[in-house]
Amino acid sequence: MPTNLPAEAKAKWIKVMEAKTPEEKVKALEEFLSAVPKHKGTERLREWATKRLAELREEIEERRRKKTGARSLFFIEKEGDVQVVVAGPPNTGKSLLVNKLTGARTIVADYPFSTTYPIPGMLKYNDVYFQLIDTPPITRGGYSRRVIGLLRNADGVLLVLDATRDYEAELRELVDLLRDEGILLVKPKGRVAMEVYRTGKAGIRVTLMGKIVDGTVEDIKKILEGYRIYNAHVKIYGEVSLDDVEQSIFESTVYKPVVLFINKIDVVEIDESKLRELVKIIPGSPIITGSAITGRGLDSIPPHLYNALEIIRVYTKAPNAPPSQKPLVLRKYATVRDVARSIHRDLLENFQYARVWGSSVNYPGERVGLDHVLSDGDIVEIHFKG
């Protein structure tokens, strides 16, 4: 383990997780940070904790302003099924694009920083509602911190660049800048999702959807117990190291799927070799060229967002009734448990079995348990006791 935290620091981390208010979190985080020894191995962790402290203090300040009646323009209520932040450098056409895709009344102007606060709009595709958020530009410097905060909470990013500029350099810069802020636009080989329960006797459950490259489930338990975490559900996707597991306790980095839109191709053409360079910077992410003015390329944005965000739609039904019209929007690898929980959190312990129709089962109406992994378009009927 590169961080090699002393037991004292690990024990303080649980206090951070248990803190309920931002004020409590600041106090706990300060105490944690003072227990972290200063050496190369803890550098990233310390940097991250320091940034997190600044964010929390800003949040507290924001709340104070709200209490005095000043509205927080930077807070966007989540609506629809998924939230996508439309981001990029100044003047690339983000506002016009959001306006064209959603009809939101954004301000389009030929000068930079014409958008000073985020504006949401709604886009519907495949029965899924995408909330697109137009944002001020991301640049190095304090001004962008709140856009980055929006990004951290979003489900995905629609990055908009300008074909008439050096978009390759701008993309590189953005990817680097966001990585420094703990937001990865390049999909890591593996991913750890950890849900820590404050109370209960659930113990530590590990679901392997991939593999641990340098250890076992027992090692994961040992790591968590070192932090005095005794009740948690850890999901492993793809290839993951024990180090990744430990990092995930701190939630220090997040991966956000990205769709890149290169705008303004009504003005200049883009050659293939240029595109290949972009693929190297964000491998696996869709790249679309088009024009917000002429409308070229706009149609392919929704399907690419849908795929990049790995959305699956699940239709629930009651016994002897037709399936719901509106799907439940979940992510790839979602299980029957996620569906049961979304129907009624408290009913989870009364779960008996589910019947599933669709491509995740061997035959229509197959009986499955809570851990069954669902596919796009599945119909799920859940049977509860009593």
Ligand X SMILES: Nc1nc2c(ncn2[C@@H]2O[C@H](COP(=O)(O)OP(=O)(O)O)[C@@H](O)[C@H]2O)c(=O)[nH]1
Contacts with ligand X, residue ranges (CB under 6 A): 90-96, 108-110, 114-115, 263-264, 266-267, 291-293
Cα(22)–Cα(37) distance, integer angstroms: 24
CB of 199 to ligand X, least distance (A): 46
Q: Which of 3, 99, 115, 316 binds Mg ion (CB under 5 A)?
A: 115
Query: Residue 25's binding partner, choosing from ligand X, Mg ion, none, with beta-carbon cut-off 5 to 8 A by kind?
Result: none
CA dihedral 215, 218, 224, 225 (to 10 degrees): -140
Cα dihedral sign, 92-179-310-340: negative
* Shortest spacing between CB 87 and Mg ion, in angstroms: 10
- Per-residue interface string for the shown chain with Mg ion, residues 152-191, x marking contact by CB under 5 A: ----------------------------------------
Which is nearer to ligand X, 107 or 318 (by Cβ)?
107
Checking phi first, is residue 27 left (phi over 0); if not, alpha (psi -120 to 50) or beta? alpha
At its nearest, how many Å lie between ligand X and the CB of residue 174?
13
Total binding residues for Mg ion by CB under 5 A? 3
8 is written with which tokens? 């004292």
Nearer to ligand X, 178 or 212 (CB): 178
The tokens for 170 are: 């701008």
- Minimum CB distance to ligand X, residue 290 (Å): 7
Contacts of 308 (CB under 8 A, 6+ apart): 156, 257, 258, 259, 285, 286
Tokens 């390329």 -> residue: 297
Q: How far is the CB of 135 from Mg ion (least distance, A)?
A: 8
Shortest Å, Cβ 328 to ligand X: 33
Q: Please check whether residue 11 is in contact with residue 228, taking contact to mean a CB–CB distance below 8 angstroms.
A: yes
Question: Please, what is the angle between helix 272-281 and helix 167-180, to 10°?
Answer: 10
Which distant-in-sequence residues (6+ apart) come within 8 Å of 74 by Cβ? Answer: 62, 117, 118, 146, 149, 150
Give the one entry of Mg ion, ligand X, none that residue 292 binds, where binding means its C-beta sits below a cut-off of 5 to 8 angstroms depending on kind: ligand X
Between the alpha carbon of residue 208 and those of residues 9, 165, 212, 213, 250, the distances in Å are 28, 44, 8, 12, 20
State the minimum distance, in angstroms, from the CB of residue 144 to Mg ion: 14
Cβ 285 to ligand X shortest distance, Å: 19
CB-nearer residue toward ligand X: 96 or 314: 96
Do the Cβ atoms of 242 and 223 come closer than 8 Å? yes
Residue 267 contact, options Mg ion, ligand X, none, Cβ 5-8 Å cut-off depending on partner type: ligand X
From the list ligand X, Mg ion, none, which binds 272 (C-beta under 5 to 8 Å, kind-based)? Answer: none
135 binds Mg ion (CB under 5 A): no
Question: Of Mg ion, ligand X, none, which one sits near residue 256, judging by CB under 5 to 8 A according to partner kind?
Answer: none
Residue 190 CA: distances (Å) to CA of 241, 248, 257, 311, 341:
8, 12, 14, 18, 25
Write out the binding residues for Mg ion, residues 80-109 only, by CB under 5 A. Answer: 94-95
Of 115 and 335, the one with the shorter C-beta distance to Mg ion is: 115
Would you state the structure tokens that stand for residue 357, as one six-digit string? 């129709």
Q: Considering the complex, what minimum distance in angstroms separates the CB of residue 84 from ligand X?
A: 15
Q: Cβ closer to ligand X: 58 or 266?
A: 266
Which residue's Cβ has the minimum distance to Mg ion? 115
Q: Interior CA angle at 206 toward 355 and 343, to 5°?
A: 35
Q: Which residues contact 334 (CB under 8 A, 6 or more apart)?
A: 312, 314, 373, 374
109 binds, among Mg ion, ligand X, none (CB under 5 to 8 A by kind): ligand X
- Which partner in Mg ion, ligand X, none is near 83 (CB below 5 to 8 A by kind)? none
- Closer residue to Mg ion, CB minimum distance, 113 or 255: 113
Taking the alpha carbons of 193, 198, 204, 207 in that order, is the dihedral positive or negative? negative
Select 94 or 304, whichever has its Cβ closest to Mg ion. Answer: 94
Residues that bind Mg ion (CB under 5 A): 94-95, 115
